[in-house]
Homo-oligomer: A and B are copies of this chain.
């Protein structure tokens, strides 16, 4: 394979990574080759046609938006005993990081613990009142965060919950949450 082709193909790949909405004709114009050549390149690289690419993006986004708005918990629930304890797992992704540091932004880690803490409370309605939290060490994209939360005090209106998030053997986050129990009448 001559380097012209190799170059074009790697260019094609990265161009479509950036912008999946380009048709073969536009691509042909960009690389100054025929449409057929682009088609051959796509075949070799296993890149589907524009419409399929758009469909993938659309479907992906559509299910993502829906599941996000339906999702009350950040992370996947692994264990939950209301009023007692719970465990959730969060796989961190590139979307959660700071560009510069490549570390996961604190509020994702907080969100996992916070939503688990709230889920733990055995009440119709529960809201975080306060929290005292500590980020012990940075988390990088790809790490699997396991959060364990436990009720440590349960009063009439307030529940105190201790949460700890680990990545492998390391404790990356600890926090204490005070969650308020509300009756339906008190909200809205």
Q: Which residues of A contact B (CB under 8 A)?
A: 20-21, 51, 54-55, 57-62, 64-65, 68-70, 72, 74, 94-95, 98-103, 105-107, 110-111, 114-115, 118, 124-125, 127-135, 138, 182, 187-188
> Which single member of B64, B95, B115 contacts A105 (CB below 8 Å)?
B115
A98's nearest neighbour on chain B, judged by CB, is: B72
On whether the beta carbons of A127 and B101 are closer than 8 Å, the reply is: yes
Question: How many Å from the CB of A73 to the closest CB on chain B?
Answer: 10
Question: How many Å from the CB of A69 to the closest CB on chain B?
Answer: 5
A102 contacts which chain B residues (CB < 8 A)? 187-188
Question: How many Å from the CB of A183 to the closest CB on chain B?
Answer: 11
A138 contacts which chain B residues (CB < 8 A)? 127, 187
Question: How many Å from the CB of A13 to the closest CB on chain B?
Answer: 17
A60 contacts which chain B residues (CB < 8 A)? 61
A96's nearest neighbour on chain B, judged by CB, is: B69
Question: How many Å from the CB of A29 to the closest CB on chain B?
Answer: 20
A20 contacts which chain B residues (CB < 8 A)? 58, 62
A58 contacts which chain B residues (CB < 8 A)? 20-21, 54-55, 57-58, 61
A57 contacts which chain B residues (CB < 8 A)? 58, 61-62
> Which single member of B64, B72, B130 contacts A99 (CB below 8 Å)?
B72
A57's nearest neighbour on chain B, judged by CB, is: B58
Question: How many Å from the CB of A52 to the closest CB on chain B?
Answer: 10
A188 contacts which chain B residues (CB < 8 A)? 101-102
Question: How many Å from the CB of A91 to the closest CB on chain B?
Answer: 16
A133 contacts which chain B residues (CB < 8 A)? 130-133
